Amino acid sequence: MSEATTKRRDSSRQTDATPAAESDAEPRTAPPRKATLINYLHSAVAVPLIYLYTAIMGTLSLLLSLHDPEGRKQHWCASAWSRMIVRTVGVRVCVRGAENIRAGESYVFLSTHQSYMDIPVMLGYLPAQLRIAAKREVFQIPFLGWHMTRGGHISINRGSTTEAIASLRRAAQEIRPGISAFLFPEGTRTRDGSLQPFKKGGFKFALQTTLPVVPVTIVGTRRVLPRDSFVFRPGPVEMYLDQPIPTASLDDRDLSVLMQQVRDAMTKHFETGGRRQGQEAGKTFSDERSA
C-alpha cells in the first residue's frame, strides 16, 4: 500500500495550493545575474538562430508526422531542437536521478517552472517519450504549434477551468504504453524563484491515468533566462528526477497527500541544488546523466 493511501484518511481538505505553498519559509532559487554587454550580444545572435532551428525542425517534424502516427520521430525532432537551443544559449545540463526512469515505461512528470528554458532542458535531456501539457497560445506559434498539434501534445485553455479539465481528461484516456505526460503543476513561471501554489489539474490527471508520478526539479534556468527577459546568461542547470510515486491504488481522497509528496521532493532539491550551484560556480557542467 502506498504512503499516500496510508495517510489519506488523516489528510485535511485543501484548496488548489498545498499548505506549504503559502509559507514565507519557502526556499527560492538564486536570483538572476545582471545581464552584461556580452550577454546582450550573445542573445542577439542566439535568438535568430532559435527561430531558424524552430522553422527547420518544425518543418521536418511535420513531414515525419505523415508517416509517424505514434509521434516517436516527432519527439526525436523536439529533442534535437531542444539540444540545439541549449547549446546555442550556453546551458550546461546535468541530469540527476535518471536511473529512476525505466526505459519503455510511462510516467506523469510534474515539474517546477522557473523559466522558458525549462522546456528545452526537459525535452532535450529527460529520458522518455513525452507529450506536454501547454497553454493554448503555444499551439498558435508557427512551426512549434503545428509540431505540437501533430505530435499529440495537450492544449490547455487557462482562461476556462472547465475546458482545461476536459482537455486533461481526454488526454488521460489517450496516453499509450511507452508515452509519458509532462505538466507544470504551478501553471506558470515563478517571479521570485519560489515554488508557487499547485493547481490540482495535473494531479487529477495522474490519478486518472494511474501512471506513476515523477517529481522533476529544474534548478538554474531562472538564472539563465529570467521571466520577462529575452537576454540569456549562460550557465549550469541541474534537473532532478525523483523516485516515481505509484498512483494505481489512489483516488481523489489521496490528492492532498500526493501534492505534498511532490512539493516536498521539489523543495528538497531546490535547497540542495541551489547550494551545489553556489559551491561549484565557475566549474564545468557537462551534458550528462549522472546519479
What digits encode the pLDDT tens for the residues 234-247?
Answer: 999 999 999 999 99
Q: Which residues pair with 155 in a beta bridge?
A: 134
**Residue 51 corresponds to which cell in the numbers above?**
527561430
Domain ranges in the chain are: 37-290
Reply yes or no on whether the pLDDT at 20 is more than 60. Answer: no
Q: Which of 129-143, 144-158, 223-237 is predicted with the least confidence, judged by mean pLDDT?
A: 144-158
C-alpha dihedral over 223, 224, 225, 230, to 10 degrees? Answer: 130
Nearest CA-CA partner of 47 in 3, 85, 9, 93: 85
Q: Percentage helix, strand, coil, to 5, in the chain? A: 45, 15, 35
Reply yes or no on whether the pLDDT at 279 is more than 60. Answer: no
Out of 1.10.287, 3.40.50, 3.40.1130, 1.20.950, which CATH number does the structure's domain 37-290 have? 3.40.1130
Reply yes or no on whether the pLDDT at 159 is more than 70. Answer: no
pLDDT (average), residues 156-163: 68
pLDDT (average), residues 135-158: 76
Q: What is the pLDDT of residue 17?
A: 46
What digits encode the pLDDT tens for the residues 78-130?
Answer: 999 999 999 999 999 999 999 999 988 999 999 999 999 999 999 999 988 88
Q: Which of 41-45, 51-55, 169-173 is predicted with the least confidence, judged by mean pLDDT?
A: 169-173
Q: What is the pLDDT of residue 42?
A: 96
Average pLDDT, the chain: 81
Residue 220 φ/ψ region, left for φ over 0, alpha for ψ in the -120 to 50 degree band, beta for the rest: left
Reply yes or no on whether the pLDDT at 290 is more than 50. Answer: no
Q: What is the pLDDT of residue 255?
A: 92
What digits encode the pLDDT tens for the residues 176-216?
Answer: 788 888 999 988 888 888 888 998 888 988 888 889 999 99
Residue 265 φ/ψ region, left for φ over 0, alpha for ψ in the -120 to 50 degree band, beta for the rest: alpha
Please check whether residue 178 is in contact with residue 219, taking contact to mean a CB–CB distance below 8 angstroms.
no
